[in-house]
Amino acid sequence: MNRLTSSRNLISSSRRQQDPSREASLLTSLCQKDGYPIHGLGPPSLKLPREFLPPYGHFVPESIYLPTISTRSPFPLNRFIRAQNPRELLICTEGTSFHNDEQPNTPNAGCAFMVNETGGWYRFPLEENNPKGKKNTRTARCASIRAAIAAIQCRNWAAEGFQRLIIATSDVSVVDGITSLMRGWIRDGWCYRYTDVPVEDEDLWWCLMYTIHAAEKKGCTVYFWATNGCWNKMAMKHAGVASEMIVKKAYEKISLPSLRFAPR
């Protein structure tokens, strides 16, 4: 056993023996240090959303969620709704990033999400700044996080009659990060474990977390599903178009009165 392995085992052992209440207190203090309120966020103050596990034999969203006219909202709206549960909605989200010849040091990044296949989409370029006014990393993962935030907060989904919202994305790192890894990042000071490498997009991760909790306070539980990129190709296309749009500097909350048509 080498020295690195021995050190990791020692760290792991000490963490397993740590008092859960002490760990919760540590997480709480770290959240406060970062300038975020915690109301109900960890173990017990950090409640992460869960990953969606499809029924056995169903590997693509289209086998579970069908384009359906929702009759529970004040107006009939076309949505991806689960066949066996009319209170469950799926939204496809995607983010993309690529370098261009004119600005090689500033990648283009775009975000998009879809609630149906007939015009119920929204796309926008990733802003220069995050919610705290710091520069966004402009990576594909950063754009994917931003797309998920917009999809959740653009509408009051509970008011449309939905109790469960499934965010489907081809970016596995977003699903893993928000459903399991974020707790460890907070504990380790927003660095990857056993390294001093900082986790990128910390402020956007926090924004996504609080957007999820805001939706759940209204009665809509959010899940994340890592899907095949081929199924999300239309959302990817919209994200690519969005990356060519004029970039806004400031972060702004996206609120849409309707998704019955393509807003852009």
pLDDT at 176: 96
User: 44 preceded by cis ω (within 30°)?
Assistant: yes
Residue 255 maps to a domain: no
Report yes or no: 67 and 117 within 8 Å, Cβ to Cβ. Answer: yes
pLDDT value of residue 260: 55
The segments of the chain whose pLDDT lies below 70 read 1-46, 57-59, 73-74, 100-105, 258-264
Query: How buried is 17 (Cβ within 10 angstroms: 0-12 exposed, 13-18 middle, 19+ buried)?
Result: exposed
Please report whether residue 264 resides in a domain: no
Q: Is residue 4 part of a domain?
A: no
Residue 75 covered by a domain? yes
CATH number at residue 157: 3.30.420.10
Looking at the domain assignment, is residue 238 inside a domain?
A: yes
**Would residue 89 count as lying in a domain?**
no
> Does any domain span residue 257?
no
pTM of the model: 0.81
For the chain, how many structural domains are there in total? Answer: 1
> How much is the pLDDT for 8?
29
Q: Does any domain span residue 183?
A: yes
In this structure, are residues 71 and 162 in contact, taking their beta carbons and an 8 Å threshold? no
| Cβ neighbours of residue 160 closer than 8 Å, sequence gap 6 or more | 70, 72, 73, 77, 79, 89
Residue ranges making up the domain that contains 186: 21-82+94-221+231-242
